[in-house]
Chain A
Amino acid sequence: MQDLVSFLNSQLQTVFGLSETLFPYVAAAMVLAIAFGFTVFAAVYAGVFIFFERRIAGRIMSRIGPNRVGPQGLLQFIADAVKLIFKEDIIPTSADRPLFKLAPYLMFIGVVAGFAVLPFSHRVIAADLNVGLLYVLAITSITVVGVLMSGWASNSKWALFGGMRSAAQLVSYEIPSGLALLPAVLLSGSLSTQEIIMAQAGSPEHALTAGGWPWNWYIFHSPMMFVCFVIFFIAQLAEGARLPFDLPEGESELVSGYNTEYSGFRFGAYFTAEFANTWIAGALCVIVFFGGWQIPGAAVPSAEAIAASGATWTWFGYSIEYAGWGAFWLEALSFLFFIVKMAGVVFIIIQLRWTVPRVRIDQMMTICWKYLLPLTFACLFLILGWMIVLPWESTAALVVRIVMALAGAVLLALYAWRVRYNIHSAGDKVYPHWII
């Protein structure tokens, strides 16, 4: 039932009496429909995200940001998109035309295809592959081919430099980012995104241990796991070419890097893909380190119970029928949890962009190979030892996790306080004090 396509198919069969011979064609059509859905979703998300980014940038710079088109400027991205589409599509004379045209789509495909294994709730996932995590890493690595292709095809030195920097950066940071995910794979014993999420739970008997309480999140499993999260976060920044790692398009030296020569719709595709990439970065952080869509206290019904039908969610003593409408609202709630956590991560990504300066290329390499990589290996081995000494189910491990979670809460409070202090000390007059 976790597979959306087969779920919808069985619905079609039972509800509309669809014959089984048509199954493959319906499946193919649905795959296309879902792919289209993700593309639209990615584009809309990127638009909304750009809106938030510009507003946050405005706040950090003590100005307002876009607020004219639509309520609070929310529809600004549509205006921008329309403008981009109607702009002239220029292909430089000396460019390698087919490659120049193909490159942005390749990048877009690499990002959007990653959405297929990202779960939004227990049942809302396009394909729960048993190698889901690897799949995301693999398919997003296609984007670098697109970047390189555009760098080459543009026949411009800025683009070429940007492409090469990007290749060096992405290939390097793939290693710490993959290795930092490995402890979570070891802990959950699976590469499937859903299973990693569902493994971040305590005993289902008690509401205070079951489900997505912060002390069940992998990030609080051990201090090393927290380090792994930081490493993964940094590596994701680098892979998405977000500041402080936006060397591939460093404006001050490379104009705009690999997309210098692009305009119009193709530029829009790049823009969208880049921002949609932050969704993948944020979602991976949430899935692997922040318990995914799990609701605090809600025990997920086991796979056997679901197969046997009549399964129920247990939430603070209530039993909610798995097949009924109650479960629908529960899953909507878990979707909300997922989005909120993800927005938190994405917010930090945005905030970092306007807070830290760009690193130099040698610093970028040094950070990866000399610091992140050895640190990840050390963490990996320490976590292996930790898993032996303090197994997940033991009470001692639970105590450690709770202490870690409390420390995390203190850290978060400090962070919030600091942000508030900075806003106040900057003499911000946009909103009254009681809002922020």
Chain B
Amino acid sequence: MSAFFAHSGLDSVEGWFFYLGAAVAVVGALMTVLSRSPLRGALWLIVSLCSVAVLYLLLGASFVAAMQVLVYAGAIMVLFIFVIMLLNLGPDAGVRPAYLSVAKVLGLGAAAYFTFQIVTSVSGGKAQAVDGTVKAVGTLLLGNYLFAFEAISVLLLVAVVGAVVLGMKRLT
């Protein structure tokens, strides 16, 4: 019994928090897909994203966790909900085609297969906590991942130009 606890990480508070956070993240993700109302789906997604932030925190990546909450829950999802409210999408928004049940079966099958594969191929043992301070993240971003960091700015420039092009009042 104690071996099981040690193996699964349930012998520590962090272990319990991990399973709690992971379970909430999965339930949140499931409810996002299964909710009939788009707004509830978006709210469940916030729950899921915040739980992922908890997992980051457990790994020691406090900066990433804070950013996750700030950017996803605080900004991106708010804009999602904003759009849903703007379009006034009720629970019956969107048609449900007949092939949806096929998609459900396929999705469930894929999910089951993935779960099986992950459970069997991931060995036990505890994840190494990382140095998630701002300094460490900054060193990585401006060192090893400098190119990706700078290339993202080109990506964002494209997004900004695109938003202006598509949203500008008068183009022609």
Contacts and interface: CB of A to CB of B under 8 A. Distances in A.
Interface of A: 24, 27-28, 96, 99, 129-131, 134-135, 137-139, 141-142, 144-145, 148-149, 151-152, 160, 163-164, 167-168, 170-171, 174, 191
* Interface residues of B, dominant DSSP: helix
A174 B12 contact: no
Contacts of A139: 69
In this complex, the member of B12, B65, B66 whose beta carbon has the largest number of chain A beta carbons within 10 angstroms is B66
5 contacts: A131-B66, A131-B134, A138-B74, A152-B81, A170-B78
B78 to A, nearest CB: 5
What range describes how many residues of B lie at the interface?
20 to 34
B59 to A, nearest CB: 14
Contact of A163 (B12, B46, B70, B85): B85
A139 B82 CA distance: 19
Contacts of B12: 24
Contacts of B62: 129-131
Contacts of A160: 85
Interface of B: 12-13, 37, 39-40, 43, 46, 62-63, 65-67, 69-70, 73-75, 77-79, 81-82, 85-86, 133-134
A105 to B, nearest CB: 14
Contacts of B63: 130-131, 134
A149 B12 CA distance: 36
B75 A28 contact: no
A343 to B, nearest CB: 28
Nearest to B62: A131
Contacts of A170: 78
B40 A99 contact: yes
A145 B40 contact: no
A167 B43 CA distance: 14
B78 A138 contact: no
Contacts of B65: 131
B86 A164 contact: yes
Contacts of B82: 148, 164, 167-168, 171
Nearest to B40: A99
A130 B65 CA distance: 12
A151 B82 CA distance: 11
A145 B43 contact: yes
